[in-house]
Structure 1
Amino acid sequence: MRRFESYGVLITGAGRGIGEATARRLAAEGAHVLVTDLDEDRAEKAAAGIRESGGVAEALACDVADSTSVDAAVAYAVQRFGSLDTLVNNAYSCHPDAPLFEDESDEIWQRDLDITLTGAYRCARAALPHLAAAPDGRGAIVSIGSVNGEQDFGNHAYSAAKAGLAGLTRTLAGHAAPRGVRVNLVAPGTVRTDAWAGRDDALARAAEYYPLGRVGHPDDIAAAVAFLASRDASWITGVTLPVDGGILTGRTGLRRALRGE
């Protein structure tokens, strides 16, 4: 199925992980994908892999903390593909918490919010006029949130940014709907990406707490993004879709403890 034939798509933070998997998935379904990343070499490597598989992809360095860089990326996508039909906000920043909350720094807090939340705001602001001009109701924004924005899984600044991104999704959906643009968010649980490199033991322990018995893979999230970006979801906007192996259904560890396991 090629649900994105000739779509112009821009994905942030797409040099690896969830962003790269999403770029591959949408390109495989016919999209022309602009792979953006802070690391231009990483973006080009991901785009080259798509082209080797027969897809259409280009690469561009983009810093979502810089409005000029964001505006340039959106303009480049429109110029190269003729339109911009889908924006995927995937870029994020996540720093570990200080041992005590009072030791958290303004710099870490601001960095996580500026990349994760305000970066998505900058991208949506630049892209929205083009998405509204997309034909046949194709215009869509899909942001990558997190279960951290829904419950406590640690990381104060990152979690606050992801919760804010869910809020922005709802308010922007209401604004953009009359303009023919849908806005949704995917909230992943723990996903095996490079961020977990060298921590296989931690992932194995985490898997025990997921009702479906495993942590996620980037392709799990890419599939959900593809659905929400496609016209299969033409009557869906303003939602947060958990793709989390069931972790938000409840605290399975507590249930086991109460059973004496």
Structure 2
Amino acid sequence: MRVALITGAARGLGRAMAHDLAADHDVAITYNTTEPGPLLMERPDIFAIQADLSDPQNAKDVIDQTVAQFGRLDVLVNNAGAVVPNAYDAEAFDDTKLIFDVNVVAPMALLSAALPHLQPGASVINISSTNAVLPAKGASAYSASKAALNTWTRAMAKELGPRGIRVNAVAPGATERPESPRPDDLIKVFVDMTALGRVGTPEDIAAAVRFLASDAAGFITGEILNVNGGYRL
């Protein structure tokens, strides 16, 4: 059975990914401050690792624990993210550093630690955002971090292609998380700008991750798959 590691999977999109992949993968997840109790009640076979991924020194421990538990690693999903509304002045530097540490440096550190264990056919999937190309007002650093993640995704696809390792990203649009619902008036704004006339669900994103992790996507690498229902076409 293939082994998947999904970071930041205690809730929201990561929880949906873990629940989906656990149907036919051995799954490890990371969490930081949010306990993954509800997920583990549904899927007690999932292996949960507490880790603060803002410190890149923790990446190797996460990979080592996953391999020690399951004996291998085939799919790495870099989902953990820092979403901090921040200004653009110098006083926002601490928030900006946290955003880039979690959204960019952590995926780099995790992949570096994982490489000795990844065999041909392995898949790395980074969770980006529509904001990488359509920056959100009040979230300049977050948007920039996702743009950097996209570029790194393509660069690593080129680097690791000769080893048979695929590297792609999924870029969600407006996606509702049951744990943190948006106000109805804001949802209407997103719906009005989306061709399919609705916001996304965590299951929409999980389905895209499943596809990119599978052999059905065996000739796809270096791609940023937008899963946004036609947002702002």
Q: What TM-score range do you get, normalising by the shorter chain?
A: over 0.9
The 8 Å contact of residues 56 and 109 in structure 2, kept in 1 or not, is answered as yes
AA of the residue aligned to 1:245: G
Which position in structure 2 is the counterpart of 1:229? 213
> Aligned with 2:49: secondary structure?
strand
What is the deviation of 1:109?
A: 1.1
Which position in structure 2 is the counterpart of 1:150? 133
As a proportion of its length, which structure holds more helix? 1
Q: RMSD across aligned C-alpha pairs, in angstroms?
A: 1.6
How many residue pairs align between the two structures? 232
Task: Please list, as runs of the form range in 1=range in 2, the aligned pairs for 1:188-203 lying within 5 A after superposition.
Answer: 188-193=172-177, 196-197=180-181, 199-203=183-187
Which position in structure 1 is the counterpart of 2:225? 241
Choose the corresponding residue for 1:123, options 100, 106, 110: 110
The 8 Å contact of residues 56 and 105 in structure 2, kept in 1 or not, is answered as no
What is the deviation of 1:104?
A: 5.2
2-structure distance, mates of 1:105, 1:183: 32
2-structure distance, mates of 1:24, 1:106: 36
**Could you list the runs of 5+ residues in structure 2 that have no partner in the other structure?**
none
Q: Deviations over 1:202-243 (max 9, x none)?
A: 123321211110110000000000000111000000010000
Q: Deviations over 1:66-123 (max 9, x none)?
A: 233221111111111110000000011111133xx33651111111111111111111
**1:44–1:66: structure 2 CA closer, same or farther, 3 Å change rule?**
farther
The 8 Å contact of residues 44 and 60 in structure 1, kept in 2 or not, is answered as no
Task: Say yes or no: does 1:205 pair with 2:156.
Answer: no
2-structure distance, mates of 1:209, 1:76: 43
1-structure distance, mates of 2:190, 2:173: 10
The 8 Å contact of residues 6 and 28 in structure 2, kept in 1 or not, is answered as yes
Task: Say yes or no: does 1:178 pair with 2:162.
Answer: yes
The 8 Å contact of residues 44 and 58 in structure 1, kept in 2 or not, is answered as no
Once the two structures are aligned, what percentage of the paired residues are identical? 38
Which position in structure 2 is the counterpart of 1:140? 123
2-structure distance, mates of 1:109, 1:71: 24
Task: Say yes or no: does 1:106 pair with 2:93.
Answer: yes
2-structure distance, mates of 1:102, 1:223: 38
Query: For the pair shown, which has the larger CA radius of gyration, 1 or 2?
Result: 1
Q: Deviations over 1:12-37 (max 9, x none)?
A: 00000010100011111x10100211
TM-score (norm 2): 0.94
Q: Deviations over 1:157-213 (max 9, x none)?
A: 100000000000001111111111100000000100157435233123321211110
